[in-house]
């Protein structure tokens, strides 16, 4: 069997070329598994994955916990290790998988923050639309809230990704999976206004031009969107995690609160499994009482 670093390199190449994982995801795997390999080499004096057993992996998790890492982070590190050993089994480099016997640490599930419906309109009206940047930011806010897309997905949108007639956005999500997301009239109005400000339209320009750009007409950087959206959200909400992702949480929460089917919300968000979407199924107490009274035979 090849050495640890060589196998890691082969595994990352497999994720990219055969599984179609994004650069961001592969980078996360690389970081996690580099830590694991360092632990094997330096702490356990292991130079071959055949020498790893479940006790080795548990020792590794113990070291991670000792460094003060959260259960969520340690669980993610273990998931990376499990993926690596699954690959080694599938490629017939190992006969036994030591990782399947190691349980993931329990994660305390916290509900995602979201913005109340009563203040969404205030948020949307925060940008100064008398300026070009303000119109762009309004279009970004409206599209985030109307579609629930990820920040990375919004950045990658081209003008041709938007179908203004059917009001659909074509999005490339995790694993390069494509999905179509409907959007509302407000988002359409502000995206069209933004394009007019750039002397463009959906019909008169190259479909491959980036939808959202900076002053130099280059694709807008993630850091710019994060900073500007965070500043707007701070005007209407309090908390630590007030970046663009809160608009994705808000999109899902408002759909669920208004009775949307969880499977439809899963598809709109681009989740692989329902378990990722179930965190949004919290219902306000007053609505729960109303549903109970309407649905239960003895609810009155």
Helices 185-197 & 132-147, crossing angle to 10 degrees?
A: 150
Q: Is residue 215 within 8 Å of residue 228, measured between CB atoms?
A: no
Nearest Cα residue to 249 out of 156, 146, 110, 148? 148
Catalytic member of 133, 174, 186, 219: 174
Establish whether 103 is a catalytic residue.
no
Q: Cα separation of 122 and 125, whole Å?
A: 5
Main-chain phi, psi angles of 118, to 5 degrees = -65, -25
Tell me which of 150, 188, 228, 266 is the catalytic residue. 150
Q: Is 174 a catalytic residue?
A: yes
Question: Could you give the count of Cα atoms lying within 13 Å of 256 in the half-sphere of its Cβ?
Answer: 23
Active-site annotation holds for 150? yes
Element (H, E) at 153: helix 151-155
> Which of 76, 198, 222, 271 is labelled catalytic?
271
Options 138, 248, 249, 266, the catalytic residue: 248
Q: What does the radius of gyration of the chain's CA atoms come to, in whole angstroms?
A: 23
* Cα(277)–Cα(298) distance, integer angstroms: 31
Q: How many CB atoms lie within 10 A of CB 72?
A: 13
Question: Is 282 assigned a catalytic role?
Answer: no
Give the H/E segment covering residue 34.
helix 23-42
Give CA–CA dist 191/140, Å, rounded: 8
Instruction: Specify the residue for token string 């003060």.
Output: 68
CA distance 97 to 169: 42
Strands (E), the chain: 162-163, 168-172, 178-182
Which are the catalytic amino acids?
150, 174, 245, 248, 271, 280
């Amino acid at each position: 069997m090849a050495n640890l670093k060589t196998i890691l390199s082969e595994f990352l190449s497999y994720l990219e070329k055969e599984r179609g994982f994004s650069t961001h995801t592969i980078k996360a795997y690389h970081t996690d598994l580099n830590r694991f390999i360092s632990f094997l080499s330096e702490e356990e004096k292991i130079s071959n994955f055949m020498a790893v057993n479940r006790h080795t992996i548990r020792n590794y998790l113990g070291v991670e916990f000792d460094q003060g890492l959260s259960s969520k982070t340690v669980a993610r590190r273990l998931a990376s290790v499990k993926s690596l050993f699954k690959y080694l089994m599938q490629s017939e480099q190992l006969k036994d998988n030591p990782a399947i016997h190691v349980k993931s640490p329990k994660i305390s599930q916290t509900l995602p923050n979201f913005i109340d419906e009563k203040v969404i309109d205030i948020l949307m009206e925060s940008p100064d639309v008398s300026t070009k940047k303000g119109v762009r930011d309004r279009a970004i806010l409206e599209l985030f809230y109307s579609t629930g897309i990820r920040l990375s997905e919004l950045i990658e949108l081209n003008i041709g990704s938007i179908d203004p007639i059917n009001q659909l956005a074509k999005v490339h999500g995790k694993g390069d999976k494509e999905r179509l997301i409907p959007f509302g009239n407000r988002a359409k109005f502000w995206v069209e206004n933004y394009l007019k400000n750039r002397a463009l339209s959906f019909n008169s320009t190259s479909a491959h031009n980036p939808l959202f750009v900076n002053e130099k007409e280059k694709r807008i950087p993630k850091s710019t969107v994060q900073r500007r959206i965070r500043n707007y959200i701070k005007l209407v909400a309090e908390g630590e995690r007030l970046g663009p992702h809160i608009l994705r949480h808000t999109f899902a929460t408002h759909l669920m609160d208004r009775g949307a089917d969880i499977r439809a919300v899963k598809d709109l968000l681009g989740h692989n499994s329902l378990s990722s979407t179930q965190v949004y199924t919290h219902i306000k107490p007053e609505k729960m009482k109303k549903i109970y009274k309407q649905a239960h035979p003895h609810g009155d």
